[in-house]
Amino acid sequence: MKFSSFAAAAALAVSGTAFAQTSAADHTAHHPAGASVAAAAAPMADGEVRKIDKEQGKVTLRHGPIASLEMPGMTMVFKVADPKMLDRVKEGDKVKFAAEKVNGAITVTAIEPAAK
């Protein structure tokens, strides 16, 4: 009887793992190339655009705390996940943005002008 309970628990654990893998793969398949599932869930932080460098794909932001990265407010240069995002903002704009570690670099994964 113990073996049956153990076998049932093991089968349930394995099927749950397969479901989680399938769900993540299915979810990723519905996002455009280069978009990460984490980016969609990353909380937005407040900032102000100080400088834009489209050639390098970078933006300098004066920002408040970024809780998801445990980062205090400061001014810093960020890479952007997609340089086309920089077309939506200009220097001096107040913005909402999401940032996360991508390949070891803190990268802006979403940015939009803040509501006025």
pLDDT tens digits, one per residue of 69-89: 999 999 999 999 999 999 999
Number of domains the chain is built from? 2
pLDDT above 90 (res 116): no
The mean-pLDDT minimum among 3-7, 27-31, 38-42, 81-85 falls in 27-31
Same domain, 41 and 72: yes
Whether 95 contacts 89, CB under 8 Å: yes
- pLDDT reported for residue 22: 38
CATH code, domain carrying 73: 2.40.50.320
CA distance 79 to 20: 31
What are the residues facing 30 on neighbouring strands? Answer: none
Same domain, 88 and 62: yes
- pLDDT reported for residue 41: 62
Same domain, 92 and 56: yes
Range of the domain at 86: 37-113
Same domain, 45 and 87: yes
